[in-house]
Amino acid sequence: MKQRRLAFAAILSFPLAALAAQDGEQWEITMNVPGMPSGMGGMTQQVCQDKDPKKQVVPGQQSEECKITDQKQSGNKTSITLNCPQGRMYLENTYNAARTEYKGTMRMTSPQGETTMNMSARKVGACDATAERKKREAQVASIERQSAQAQDMMRQQREMQIGQCAEAVETMDYGKLGMYGQCKQHPEYCQTMGSDPGNKQVMTACAARQAEYCKRYRTEAGFLKAKADAKAAEACGLSVDQVKAELCPGAAKREALAFLGRYCLAEAKPLAEKHCAGRDFTALRAGKGTRDKYDDFCMAYLSSASLAQAPRPDAPSTPTANPADAVTDGVTQGINKLRGLFGR
């Protein structure tokens, strides 16, 4: 008997559950924005709405964030006012007598202006509004998770860029300043980037690093570390020759050998004539023989002077049968010319 009662209860509960699942109304809604160009007229979609207007899923509405502040019904006309994070929304629908069709407007006011959307709808059947609401809540939760992940990724990228800008000064690698190192050449681009609060934070940090970089570029240590990068000099509003003219006289007075040998040929020449003549450069290159503090200076001077005496890329050249022989001949000639400077 008990089993029969349970079976009877289950049979009775089945249609009740089925009815409960169809607690909403399926509407086909067409939306139009006045003033849109021809061919970009209506957008039609099917929406499952709760029979209770306060729980209705309104197309395009972030209903979890919007709060109903006013609701009125007069005959076949309903109106709802919602306060949303992006502004205030007014909904007004007028139904036919059977409440199977309606025409309405959705007006949104915000600091950016006012937008109006016209709607026409017809009821096409029943639906499970509860399931639809749960589905929508799951979608909102998923979007929120994705948004949080995207924001976290952007935060990490900004922190990485700020770190790279700091590293640019330490390594004197101007490329690590990225696009923020080009603001003098492209101020309009940096202006656009700076309109975003997150990017503005990066711009402020990297602008300070760029100023520090350019200041260090005008020192012997910074210029050496930057390897006389011409593009970096241009980005700083300088030129390589200008910085050399500023630094070479002082380097000569202090005998800053590393700097003189690489970038100050005129100032380094007296020292080179005194300390580099007669040195066996082949042995130096091989790391053989007795070494002293002028070894690096002489090797750097040899390389810089050789490059200075090399023919320009656009100068006419005599074809050589073997390219490897041409390289060897060029190096030999450069060394011989330098030895000629020293009277050897």
What is the average pLDDT across 49-76?
Answer: 68
* Rounded Cα–Cα distance for residues 222 and 125 (Å): 76
The domain in which residue 115 lies consists of 24-127
Q: Which residue would you say has higher pLDDT here, 9 or 89?
A: 89
Domain match, 68 and 153 both: no
Q: Which residue has 């005959």 as its token pair? A: 75
Q: What is the pLDDT of residues 73-95, one digit of tens each?
A: 888 898 888 888 888 888 899 99
Residue 137 lies in a domain: yes
Work out how many domains the chain is built from and give that number: 3
Give percent above pLDDT 90 in the chain.
27
* Rounded Cα–Cα distance for residues 4 and 327 (Å): 104
Domain match, 83 and 122 both: yes
Q: Which residue would you say has higher pLDDT here, 242 or 111?
A: 242
CB 217 within 8 A of CB 236: yes
* Rounded Cα–Cα distance for residues 289 and 193 (Å): 58
The tally of CA atoms less than 13 A away on the side-chain side of residue 204 is: 7
* Rounded Cα–Cα distance for residues 222 and 310 (Å): 27
Domain match, 134 and 222 both: yes
Say which CATH number the domain at 101 has.
2.40.128
- pLDDT of 226 reads 95
* Rounded Cα–Cα distance for residues 27 and 96 (Å): 14
The tally of CA atoms less than 13 A away on the side-chain side of residue 340 is: 9
Confidence band for 4, pLDDT divided at 50, 70 and 90: very low
Confidence band for 12, pLDDT divided at 50, 70 and 90: very low
The tally of CA atoms less than 13 A away on the side-chain side of residue 247 is: 26
Residue 42 lies in a domain: yes
Domain match, 264 and 234 both: no
Residue 322 lies in a domain: no
Closest CA to 25 of 104, 130, 134: 130
Provide CB contacts within 8 A for 189, sequence distance 6+. 179, 182, 183
What is the average pLDDT across 269-280?
Answer: 81
284: pLDDT strictly greater than 50: yes
Q: Which of 238, 266, 296 is the last residue of a domain?
A: 238
Collapse the DSSP code of 156 into the 3-class scheme (helix H, G, I; strand E, B; otherwise coil) and give the result: helix
Domain match, 61 and 114 both: yes
Top mean pLDDT of 18-32, 118-132, 206-220 is at: 206-220
Domain match, 229 and 258 both: no
Give percent above pLDDT 70 in the chain.
72
Top mean pLDDT of 69-78, 165-174, 199-208 is at: 165-174
Domain match, 264 and 300 both: yes
Q: Which of 98, 127, 156 is the last residue of a domain?
A: 127
* Secondary structure element (H or E) that encloses residue 9, with its range: helix 2-21
336: pLDDT strictly greater than 80: no
Q: What is the pLDDT of residues 216-225, one digit of tens each?
A: 999 999 999 9
Residue 264 lies in a domain: yes
Provide CB contacts within 8 A for 300, sequence distance 6+. 258, 261, 262
Task: State both tokens at 133.
Answer: 């609401």
- pLDDT of 1 reads 46
Domain match, 231 and 139 both: yes
Residue 289 lies in a domain: yes
CB-count exposure of residue 232 (10 Å: 0-12, 13-18, 19+): buried
Domain match, 218 and 267 both: no
* Rounded Cα–Cα distance for residues 76 and 93 (Å): 8
Domain match, 307 and 224 both: no
- pLDDT of 176 reads 93
Domain match, 231 and 142 both: yes
Task: State both tokens at 313.
Answer: 């890329």
249: pLDDT strictly greater than 90: yes
**What's the full length of the chain, in residues?**
344
Chain centroid, CA 192 distance in Å: 12
285: pLDDT strictly greater than 80: no
Strand 67-74 to strand 101-110: parallel, antiparallel, or no bridges (unpaired)?
A: unpaired
Q: Which of 191, 208, 238 is the last residue of a domain?
A: 238
Domain match, 222 and 268 both: no
What is the average pLDDT across 155-160?
Answer: 92
Residue 6 lies in a domain: no
SS (H, E, C) 164-229: HHHHHHHHCCHHHHHHHHHCCCCHHHHHHHHCCHHHHHHHHHHHHHHHHHHHHHCCHHHHHHCCCC
Residue 123 lies in a domain: yes
Residue 317 lies in a domain: no
